[in-house]
Amino acid sequence: MNYYEILGLSYGASISDVKASFRQLAKLYHPDVNPEGLEHFAKVLRAYETLSDPVLKQSYDYKLNYHQAQTQQQTTAKTNKTWSFSEKELKRRQYYDEHIRKYAKQTGGSTATTEVKPHYNEFRYILYATPLAVILFLLIMSLANRSNPSFSEKNGSPAHDITHNPTNIRLQTGDDPYGSLFGSPQYELNGGHTLLIKNASGKDMIVCLFTKESFVRSFYVADNFSAEIPQLPDERLFVNFSSGLNFDKSLYLEQAGVTGAFSTDLSFYKAKNSIDPKEVTELSLGFNAPGFDKTNSLEFFKRMIH
Ordered per-residue pLDDT tens for the chain, 306 residues = 888 899 899 888 899 999 999 998 988 888 888 888 788 888 989 999 999 998 888 888 878 887 777 777 676 656 655 555 566 677 777 777 777 777 666 665 444 444 445 455 555 666 667 777 888 887 776 665 544 333 333 333 333 344 444 556 678 877 888 877 777 888 887 778 999 999 988 999 999 999 988 889 889 999 999 888 998 998 999 999 999 999 998 889 988 888 889 999 999 999 989 999 999 999 999 767 778 889 999 988 875 444
pTM for this model (two decimals): 0.48
Give the domain-ending residue among 147, 162, 187: 147
Length of the chain: 306
Is the same domain home to 134 and 73?
A: yes
The confidence score (pLDDT) of residue 113 equals: 45
Is the same domain home to 1 and 78?
A: yes
Is the same domain home to 69 and 157?
A: no
> CB–CB of 202/151 below 8 Å?
yes
| Structural domain range at position 103 | 87-119
CA angle in degrees (0–180, nearest 5) for 85-88-94: 85
Ramachandran region of residue 285, left (φ > 0), alpha (ψ -120 to 50) or beta? beta
Is the same domain home to 48 and 161?
A: no
The confidence score (pLDDT) of residue 94 equals: 74
Is the same domain home to 97 and 74?
A: no
Is the same domain home to 30 and 175?
A: no
Is the same domain home to 195 and 297?
A: yes
Is the same domain home to 198 and 217?
A: yes
Is the same domain home to 128 and 237?
A: no
Helix (H) or strand (E) holding 23: helix 15-29
Which DSSP symbol is given to 37? G
The count of domains in the chain is 3
Please, is 215 exposed, middle or buried when counting C-beta atoms within 10 Å of its C-beta (0-12, 13-18, 19+)? buried
Is the same domain home to 199 and 222?
A: yes
Strands 226-232 and 193-199: antiparallel
